[in-house]
Structure formats: C-alpha cells, structure tokens
Structure 1
Amino acid sequence: MELSLTLSTLLFGLMLLAFGGSVLMKYSSASALARGFPRSEQAGKVLMIVAMVWTAWKVWNLGPTDYGDYKQFILVGFGLLGVLSFKYAADFLSVRASSILYLFFADALLESAWMRYDEPLRLLLVTPVYIGIALSLYFAYAPYRVRDFFTWLFSKESKAKNVSGGIAVYGLILCLIAFTF
C-alpha cells in the first residue's frame, strides 16, 4: 500500500502530536512508561512479533530484481533470526524491535515523498524522518542508550515538557502543512 504525500505528512504529524501531547498532559505516566520501555519483556515480544510479520510481508512481496527468486530462503533466514533474538538478544529487545518497525515506517513515508521535487514542503516531512532513521540505527546498535536518554530526559520535568512540546508543535505544523500540498 502506497501512501500519498498528503496522507503520510498528516499521519506523521498526528503521531508526533500525539506523542508530544501525551507527555505534556500525562507527564508522570509517560515518564514511568518510557523508563520501563527499554527492558520491557512484554513490549519486546509484541513489537518483535509485529516486526517479524512486517518483515515476512515485505520479503514475500519482493520482485525478481530484489532477489525475489530467493524469497523462501530469505524468509527462513529472517524468521530464524527473529526467533533466535527472543533467546539470545532478549535484553533491550523492545528497543531493537522498535528500531526495525521505525525503519519500515520510515520507508513508507519516504516512498511517498520520492521524486516530489516540485513540492519543497516535503522537506519538512523527510528531514525528521531521516533523523529518526539515524537514531534508530544507532539505538539498534546500542540499545542501552535509550535507557540513558530517558534517564536524562525525565531527570527534570521542565526538560521533558520542553522537548515534548517541541515535538507536538512540529507535529501540528506537519498536520497544517499536509493540507497545503
């Protein structure tokens, strides 16, 4: 399913607005949830299963130019990696699975902006998406840094509210811009 640029900008804006707004309105709950997330076994299992299903769907739909002739082998390989991650990479599994899911989500967002050079406002969508890609690759490599980041972010309520307020404002801007394309 391919998203339009308007829909992907609106969707990403709503997600940023919801994320930033939830921290602003429910600071104590968001703080507790964020601090427990990196090592949450339940979140790790659920997110990894979703990531495995999304990976299987992407691999199953590979074309012949994308090694689609070998998709059965690729499916077995990724399935084996996914199952083994529950045992051998269980620590911070939720962070790693979130990184996988964000990369798939970013792919869908960037695909909607592909070759749309006539619309310069697309840069407001793709810039934070590329920043998120860099962060998700870094956090997949060093997932304990998410714990460190949340410790730093929620050490002072004003710090967390300023960052989440900025995220919410940017999400609102994206929502408003989505209707100008």
Structure 2
Amino acid sequence: MKLSLLSILLGLGMAAPQIYGLAKPAAFTAAVRKFPRSLPAGYVLMALGTSWFLWNVKQEMLADFAAFKPHMLTAFALIGLGTCIFVQDFLAVRGLAIVLMLLAKLMVDTGRPHLGATAWVLVIQTWAYLLIVAGMWFTVSPWRLRDILNWATGSEKRVRIGSAIRLALALCIVLLGLTAFRAM
C-alpha cells in the first residue's frame, strides 16, 4: 500500500466519527459509552483482528517457523475463537486493541521505506507507536478504555472539543497524504 493512500484512508476513517460527534453529541455519547461491552462489536473486531493476524503469519517467510506454520495458524485461530467464547467481558475493547496493533504494524511497514524522504513520515510512525502502546495497555486493562470514554463523554462540551481536536488531526493526516506523501 502506498503511504499517501494509507494516510488519506486513516484520516478519513478517523474523521467520520468526529463529524458525527460534532453534529450529534448526545447520540455519539450514547454509542461510545455502549462500545466497551458491546458483544456484536467485539465479535466483529475479534474476527477482523484474528483474520488479519492469521494473514500476517501466513505471509511471514521466516524459515525457523516454516514447519510449525500450519500448527501456529490453527492455534491462533482457536485462540481468537476461544476469546470470543470465554473472554466476553470487554471483548470489543480487546478486539479493538488487536486491530490497533495490527494497524500500527501496517503504518510502520508502509512508512519505513520513506523515512529518509521526508521527516513528515515520523508523524505516521509516531502515531503507530502510540497505537501499539494503547493496544497493549487496553489488552491488559480494558476497563481503562471504558473509563477514558466515560470521562471524554462526560459533557457535551468535552465531546465537541474532543471531536474537534481529533477532526483537526484527521484532516492534517489527509493533508499529508495529499501533499507530502503524494509521490510515496
């Protein structure tokens, strides 16, 4: 994937919920507060995260693991399925954490070849490492995301300010994709 396309998609993907948060803060608050314990969202995110991880493992060409790859794929698929069955508390947060870490891998892998071309690549790389830290933290203590979301949606003013800040960041990422990363 090209860095410019990735930046545009990341920015637009980040902007969409922020526009909703600015337009309908009450509905946004209700949806955000339901998310951490949402089983349907958890199933979707765990399925996405497990599938994406399995695809990454399948694409990996390390000779040291070649003989074990079929067993690893089966074991990881069973872990993803088992998590959906036996670890349903905060499943959406755990699924999101996995997706965040896999997204960060994509961001780092896509940006790494262009580190020497422009310093703006560090914006994407830094964001990726922040996603990794967040993913690890929310995997270990998923209730923290619930607490953060409850605080961030504690008032309409917080929702609007937070959405505006995140929207500005999203638009900056899109702008980078359209300008600084255009040829990458």
Normalized against structure 2, the TM-score is what? Answer: 0.90
> What is the alpha-carbon distance in structure 2 between the residues aligned to residue 121 and residue 163 of structure 1?
24
- The match for 1:128 is 127
RMSD: 1.5
Return the offset for 1:128: 2.1
Counting aligned pairs with the same residue, the percent is 28
Contact 2:103 2:128 in 1 (8 A): no
Deviations for 1:131-167, whole angstroms, at most 9, x for unmatched residues? 1221111011100111111111111111121111111
Change (3 A) 1:123 1:64: closer
How many residue pairs were aligned?
A: 179
**What is the DSSP-based 3-state SS (H/G/I as helix, E as strand, rest coil) of the residue aligned with 1:45?**
helix
Change (3 A) 1:66 1:4: farther
- The match for 1:169 is 168
> What is the alpha-carbon distance in structure 2 between the residues aligned to residue 128 and residue 91 of structure 1?
28
> What is the alpha-carbon distance in structure 1 between the residues aligned to residue 64 and residue 100 of structure 2?
21
Moved beyond 3 Å, runs of 4+: none
Contact 2:36 2:92 in 1 (8 A): yes
- The match for 2:88 is 90
> What is the alpha-carbon distance in structure 1 between the residues aligned to residue 123 and residue 62 of structure 2?
34
Name the aligned partner's letter for residue 26 of structure 1: K
> What is the alpha-carbon distance in structure 1 between the residues aligned to residue 124 and residue 64 of structure 2?
27
Change (3 A) 1:153 1:8: same
- The match for 2:147 is 148
Name the aligned partner's letter for residue 24 of structure 2: K
> What is the alpha-carbon distance in structure 1 between the residues aligned to residue 84 and residue 41 of structure 2?
12
- The match for 2:107 is 109
Say whether residues 1:178 and 2:171 are aligned partners. Answer: no
Name the aligned partner's letter for residue 154 of structure 1: T
- The match for 2:159 is 160
Name which of structure 1's ranges 114-123 and 36-45 shifts more when overlaid on structure 2: 114-123
Contact 1:62 1:71 in 2 (8 A): no
Return the offset for 1:66: 6.3
Name the aligned partner's letter for residue 21 of structure 2: V
> What is the alpha-carbon distance in structure 1 between the residues aligned to residue 142 and residue 59 of structure 2?
30
> What is the alpha-carbon distance in structure 1 between the residues aligned to residue 66 and residue 97 of structure 2?
24
Contact 1:61 1:68 in 2 (8 A): no
Return the offset for 1:97: 0.7
Name the aligned partner's letter for residue 165 of structure 2: G
Normalized against structure 1, the TM-score is what? Answer: 0.91
Q: What are the equivalent positions in structure 2 for 1:46-125 lying under 5 Å apart?
A: 46-65=44-63, 67-116=65-114, 117-125=116-124
- The match for 1:42 is 40
